[in-house]
Amino acid sequence: MIATATASWKTYTNAKYAYSIEYPSNWFNSEFPEKTGSAFVLSSTPNSSGSQEININAIAKISDSLSLSFADYVQIAGIKEFGYTKLASIKPITTTSGISGYETTWTVQSSDGQLSESLPITYFEISSDKTATIEVFLNKEDDLDIYNQMLSTFEFTQ
């Protein structure tokens, strides 16, 4: 069913980290200057960093965590990388091409002490580079269905 829904979609391919992901044909993609990933926005949305709806990026692991297995790293990544309070949820996912990853949400504490849950971040292991992970961020809750469809199309190109 998802394959049909994404049949007319475009494909973003990252040569530096050898991965690809499909995105809706009415969305715009803007590759990051470091060539590690891209931001995706609805074409009718102004192209600015504040309007990124979904991001994919290769992110370096925190150096004191390089010895951890991928499954263990994912459980602390949001704390180490972004300063989130704790892991709120984790679930394994598998893309249509058979790539396994983990979708997570995190407990976030605001400056006034209020706790909330983040939008999902999904992690994929780079088998050829144990010092980084591919991370897919949902930045706008209204796009959760598109996010899940995009995730299903993620694959490594080598």
pLDDT in tens, the chain (158 residues): 445 678 899 999 999 999 999 999 999 999 999 999 999 998 876 555 456 799 999 999 999 999 999 999 999 999 999 999 999 999 999 999 999 999 999 999 888 989 999 999 999 999 888 899 999 999 999 999 999 999 999 999 98
Q: What pLDDT sits at residue 110?
A: 87
DSSP state of 76: H
Whole-angstrom distance, CA of residue 106 vs CA of residue 86: 6
Whole-angstrom distance, CA of residue 72 vs CA of residue 93: 16
The helix or strand, by DSSP H or E, that contains position 77, with its residue range, turns out to be helix 70-82
Whole-angstrom distance, CA of residue 120 vs CA of residue 156: 21
**Do residues 120 and 71 touch, judged by C-beta distance below 8 A?**
no
Domain 2-156, CATH: 3.40.1000.10
Within the chain, strands assigned E span: 10-14, 19-23, 27-31, 37-42, 54-60, 86-94, 100-109, 115-117, 121-125, 132-138, 155-156
Tell me the domain boundaries of the chain: 2-156
pTM attached to this predicted model: 0.90
Whole-angstrom distance, CA of residue 138 vs CA of residue 109: 18
Q: What pLDDT sits at residue 1?
A: 42
Residue from 16, 125, 136 nearest 66 by CA: 125
